[in-house]
Amino acid sequence: MSKKTEQLWTAQYIVVLLNMLCNGMAGMMTHPIVAKYSLSVGADLTTASAIAGMMSLVALAVCPFAGLLCDKGNRKHILIAANFGYGLSLVLHCVCVTIPALIAVRLATGLFFSICTVANVAYASAYISKTRTGEGLGYVGLSTVVAQALGPMIGMELQETGGYSLTFLVAGGFAFLCIGFLVILPYSVTYIPEKTRKGLRLKDLFAARFTLYMLMALLFSSAGGLISTYLAIIGDMRKIADITMYFSVFSILSMALRPVMGRILDTKGISCLLIPAFLGCGICLVFVGVGQAIFVFLIAGVFGAIGQGSGLPSIQAHCVKMTDKASTGMATSTIMIGQNIGNAIAPVIGSFFIGLFDYEATFAGAGVFIIIAGASFLLFQWKIDQKNNGTMSEKQ
């Protein structure tokens, strides 16, 4: 294989990362203000919370079909159309003055967001050589992590400066910018979509062999959902200034670790990453739960980067690497199901335990649970892999 084939940091790959970053920013800029915006148009707190979580629920339903769509059609054309719908939906938030209108726009936003999320990873794989899939898709996943850290801060600053409309307009602009990136990128289909068979089967929507990895992704996204939902509240209660610096430490260290994690994935395998990742994720939650000073939350950010900051991108990259290019959409959507479930249910379950106990016990308990559950899933997956390897050896 030629040296050129093995190159990762090409101009095209950099544009792919910019596309992923802008797409992530479009969604994360609006994430922290949707509930407040809902209240401003007359919703009560319960309705506002439901509207805010509606996008994740729609994504949960749409992701499997988005994966099938990406495996059957031209991913570039799908992404251009989805980003146009995504940008338009975000801009339309500005003119929603009634709750039904806002619900309709949020449903449309969730639909296009789901397609963009799945198609982006499947599309990006076309620009990464197979031998560097772990490293390449790791950076792709990291662009989403960076957007999750920077987007809310920028969105809230824009909202305070120019109101809700400015935030939604800028967010929509990021989605439209993605269309420009996609247009300038040359794209040749490197797989053969299956068109001969008609009908729909469950295995077209869900990659059952990645079920345990989906559950692991659920654990990591649950940790992220708990922290992003309650960190600011914890900071106010404990009177900790600049608690959002957690996200800065998390993002910077995640970026610094990504090259190392990607190479380990490509050379040593996924288990070498996930064992410390679950430990880091659990310890991060414990520190967030018990922290009474800013330096504790900075330490939590370090463990968070080792945990969910490394674990989620590595799982996504591993599953895509284990499939052929024609099925990367289904692999991506399967993992996204776990992520969306975690993002949707973790804050709700967390609120129940916070009501029964307190933040300290809830976060510490969640950290211990994630370590135990993650270790169990890894053990089960190892046994499955050993069994499959033994079966293959017997056939040979």
What is the residue-level pLDDT of the chain in tens, covering all 396 positions?
344 446 778 888 888 888 888 988 988 888 777 877 888 888 876 677 678 777 777 877 787 777 777 777 788 888 999 999 999 999 999 998 889 999 999 999 988 988 888 888 778 877 877 677 767 777 777 777 778 777 877 887 888 888 889 999 999 999 999 999 999 888 765 555 555 445 555 565 677 788 899 999 999 989 988 887 788 778 888 888 888 788 888 888 887 887 788 778 878 888 888 999 999 999 999 999 999 999 999 999 999 999 988 888 888 888 877 776 666 667 777 888 888 788 778 877 888 888 888 889 999 999 999 999 999 999 998 888 787 766 555 555
Distance from C-alpha of 343 to C-alpha of 332, rounded to nearest angstrom: 16
What separation in angstroms does the CA of 283 have from each of 114, 216, 330?
31, 16, 32
Record the pTM.
Answer: 0.74
SS3 content of the chain, % helix, strand, coil (to 5): 85, 0, 15
Residue 366: which of 311, 269, 288 has the closest Cα? 288
210-225 burial: b if 16+ Cβ within 10 Å, else e:
bbbbbbbbbbbbbbbb
Please, is 388 exposed, middle or buried when counting C-beta atoms within 10 Å of its C-beta (0-12, 13-18, 19+)?
Answer: exposed
The CATH T-level fold of domain 206-396 is Growth Hormone; Chain: A; (1.20.1250)
Residue 396 CB neighbours (<10 A): 5
Domain(s) labelled CATH 1.20.1250.20 in the chain stretch across 11-130+153-186, 206-396
Name all contacts of 193-197 with Cβ < 8 Å and 24+ positions apart.
Answer: 193/71, 193/72, 193/73, 193/326, 194/71, 194/72, 194/326, 195/72
Give the CATH architecture of domain 11-130+153-186: Up-down Bundle (1.20)
Unique residue bearing structure tokens 């003055």: 97
